[in-house]
Amino acid sequence: MEKYMSRIEVRDSAFKLIFEKLLRNDPIETLYEIAEDIDEIIVNDAVKELVNGTLAHAEELDGIIQQYSKSRALARIPKINLAILRIALYEIRYDDGTPQNAAISEAVNLAKQYTYEEDARFINGLLGAYARANPQ
Domain count, the chain: 1
DSSP 71-132: SS-GGGS-HHHHHHHHHHHHHHHH-TTS-HHHHHHHHHHHHHHHS-HHHHHHHHHHHHHHHH
Residue 25 has pLDDT above 80, yes or no: yes
CATH at residue 99: 1.10.940.10
pLDDT digits (tens, 9 = 90+) for 75-107: 999 999 999 999 999 999 999 999 999 999 999
Does residue 43 belong to any structural domain of this protein?
A: yes
Does residue 2 belong to any structural domain of this protein?
A: no
Does residue 47 belong to any structural domain of this protein?
A: yes
Does residue 45 belong to any structural domain of this protein?
A: yes
Does residue 1 belong to any structural domain of this protein?
A: no
Average pLDDT of span 8-14 = 96
Q: Tell me, what's the pLDDT at 5?
A: 87
Does residue 62 belong to any structural domain of this protein?
A: yes
Determine the structural domain holding residue 13 and report its residue range: 7-133
Q: Tell me, what's the pLDDT at 3?
A: 67
The rounded mean pLDDT for the chain is: 95
Average pLDDT of span 116-132 = 97
Does residue 76 belong to any structural domain of this protein?
A: yes
* Cα–Cα dist 74/1, whole Å: 40
Residue 6 has pLDDT above 70, yes or no: yes
Read off the pTM: 0.95
Average pLDDT of span 7-22 = 97
Q: Do 56 and 90 contact (CB within 8 A), yes or no?
A: no
Q: Tell me, what's the pLDDT at 2?
A: 58
Closest CA to 111 of 12, 5, 7, 9: 12
